[in-house]
Amino acid sequence: MSIVFDQVSYTYGPNAPYQALNQVSCTIELGSFSGIIGHTGSGKSTFLEHINGLKTPSSGKVLINGLDTSNKEDKKDIRKLVGFVAQNPEHQLFAETVFDDIAFGPLHTGAKEEELTSIVEKSLRRLEVEPTAELLASSPFDLSGGQQRRIALAGILAMEPQILAMDEPLAGLDPQGRQQVLKLCQKLNNEGITIVMISHSMDEIAEVADHIIVMNKGELIEHGRVEKIFSEPEKLKRLGLDIPEASKYYFELKKRGVDLGDFVYTLDQLADAIAAYKVGGVDGI
Amino acid sequence: MSILNCREINFSYEDKERVLDNLSLSLEPGSYTVILGHNGSGKSTLARHINALLLPDSGSVEVFGLSTSSEDNWLEIRRNAGMVFQYPDDQMVTSVVRDDIAFGPENLGIPRDEIIERVEAAIEAVEMQDFADADPSDLSGGQKQRIAIAGILAMRPKLIIFDEAGAMLDPQGRQDLSDRMKSLNEQGYTIIHITHFIEDALEASRVLVLDEGKILYDGSPQEVFEHSDHLKELGLDAPFSINLISALKARGIDLRVTLGQDELIDQLVEVL
């Protein structure tokens, strides 16, 4: 059970100057949390759009749990399996009430009327939003940006996806909102949802992802565990990509003669390693 | 003389809570001010008072010595106080970059020859010469933001207000934008940058932190970041160096507050 890209190429029309995806192959295990990094134009959004069949390969194959995104009969099942979170998903809110917006998907894919209330409430609770009668009856457009984003996410969760393909789900939120949504993504992953997320922030990816896919000019350059990808800053730098702040401190301290031991890539790991080094240093004397 | 003078302004949208609460503020010409606040802190509402898009319920706002309460002053104020918003698409009106930049000055009734001169100078100032005849919708977010800035520059303002102008850009795009603000400031423009990215504040000469419509902190970046624990409680994220310092403090390692990575590394090497 996994997401498989097998020699996937994608071209925007016969006269496109380059291939948006060029012979991309990889396997993403279910239950994992993968970050996709790469410059604008690297093909990362096109890659993501192949996961739910929004785009299908010009050549090659994408298999979701064995279902082929190019196969019309499989498409319906794939759309159910994969929730697609577009950039600024709140721009797709449309209904008059929060309830109607979240219930729209299930209602149109065969959920019974009497189930809708429990589906809507459950989806909101998964995002740590209390489904009060007042909220459900309010217009999504009267809510703050951060709340709107959660309502949009709840609409996607209402379809009970097993995989979430997310295109910069934190963009445009303030730091508090970013932290909250990031924690929610982690929580959903802990609940078993496979997440594939595009992000510009190496620090945010470092906090939540276990794997990273590096894209450049339509090609998959690397795919590996977070600690492996971020421990090779030179490779990333050549692609114009950065490493997390914590890792920069790790390397800089090493240069200055302070070797913290195992590689670190989050703030907490770095602070723990520095504290341990200090204790170890004192013990050494 | 100050370029902006807000005296005890109050404002609320319809009958809701106060968004600006008895706020007073004065800015010097040529300054580079960053206004930090989380969503809902009132920072964008304040920005809209500066060029008379909103008027205070009570109190007064004077820009270049002109009061926003008199409609006769609005044109002069808006000509001199340009605003760049979060979504540059909302500011694009034509299908050719050059025409888009000319749109503002054309509306000011400026003679054609001068418009052409201003447009070319503005395109050059944002280094978009290669794209002068492009369709704005074909440009990247960062490029569109540069066109929006050029459109403002062509109005020859004294003051430029950036309202979350970097929020939709990637880190590189944000850095470019920040560098551009710095260079515009060095050329003499007064800059106000409204943002929730604390890193944006490092370059400013003055940092204001807004919360619930009030100015909570006002000082140099160094002075304001002394309050980093409180800033975090407000939902603002401090630069990594500050976060590391507090994480180490919690682990029993006390360090001086420094903003940059280099100074912090120096301290760490010394302590370890």
Q: For position A281, what pLDDT does the model report? A: 62
**The CATH number fitting domain A2-243, selected from 3.30.360.10, 3.40.50.300, 1.20.58.220, 3.30.1240.10:** 3.40.50.300
Q: Residue B24 pLDDT more than 60?
A: yes
A280 touches chain B (CB under 8 A): no
Q: For position B228, what pLDDT does the model report? A: 80
> Given A171, A203, A258, which is nearest B268 (Cβ)?
A258
Q: How many domains does chain B have?
A: 1
Q: Which of residues 104-133 of A touch B (CB under 8 A)?
A: none
For residue A79, which amino acid is it? R
Judge: A256–B167 Cβ closer than 8 Å, yes or no: no
B267 neighbourhood in chain A, CB within 8 Å: none
B145 neighbourhood in chain A, CB within 8 Å: none
Phi and psi torsions of A187, nearest 5°: -65, -45
Residue B205 lies in a domain: yes
Confidence of residue A267 (pLDDT cuts 50, 70, 90): very high
CA distance A112 to A101: 16
What CATH number should be reported for the domain holding residue B9?
3.40.50.300
Confidence of residue A285 (pLDDT cuts 50, 70, 90): very low
Q: What is the pLDDT of residues B71-80, one digit of tens each?
A: 999 999 998 9
Q: For position B158, what pLDDT does the model report? A: 93
Q: For position B85, what pLDDT does the model report? A: 87
Mean pLDDT, residues B166-177 taken together: 79
Q: Compute the Cα dihedral for A25, A29, A30, A33 and give only its sign.
A: negative
A210 touches chain B (CB under 8 A): no
Q: For position A236, what pLDDT does the model report? A: 94
Q: What is the pLDDT of residues A113-136, one digit of tens each?
A: 899 999 999 999 999 999 999 999
Judge: B170–A245 Cβ closer than 8 Å, yes or no: no
Q: Residue A102 pLDDT more than 50?
A: yes
Q: Cα distance from A151 to chain B (closest Cα, Å)?
A: 17
Helix B141-153 to helix B97-107 angle (10° resolution) is 30
Helix A175-190 to helix A145-157 angle (10° resolution) is 20
- Torsion, Cα A26 A30 A31 A36, to 10 degrees, reads 30
Residue B103 lies in a domain: yes
In order of A130, A135, B125, B153, the CA distances from B103 in angstroms are 47, 43, 17, 12
Mean pLDDT, residues A197-204 taken together: 94
Which residues of chain B approach chain A closer than 8 Å at the C-beta? 38-40, 86, 140, 167-168, 170-172, 196-198, 235-237, 240, 243-244, 247-248, 250-253, 261, 264-265, 268-269, 271-272
Q: What is the pLDDT of residues A42-67, one digit of tens each?
A: 899 999 999 999 999 999 999 999 99
- Interface probe for B, chosen from A167, A176, A251 (most Cβ of B below 10 Å), is A176
Percent of chain A with pLDDT over 90: 80
Q: Residue A10 pLDDT more than 70?
A: yes
Q: What is the pLDDT of residues B212-227, one digit of tens each?
A: 999 999 999 888 988 8
Residue B95 lies in a domain: yes
B38 neighbourhood in chain A, CB within 8 Å: 174-176
Domain that holds residue B171: 4-220
Nearest CA in chain A to B264: A249
Confidence of residue A173 (pLDDT cuts 50, 70, 90): confident
Q: For position B227, what pLDDT does the model report? A: 87
- Interface probe for A, chosen from B19, B236, B244, B245 (most Cβ of A below 10 Å), is B244
Q: Residue A283 pLDDT more than 70?
A: no
Domain ranges of chain A: 2-243, 244-285
Residue B245 lies in a domain: no
Judge: A176–B236 Cβ closer than 8 Å, yes or no: yes
Residue B99 lies in a domain: yes
Confidence of residue A284 (pLDDT cuts 50, 70, 90): very low
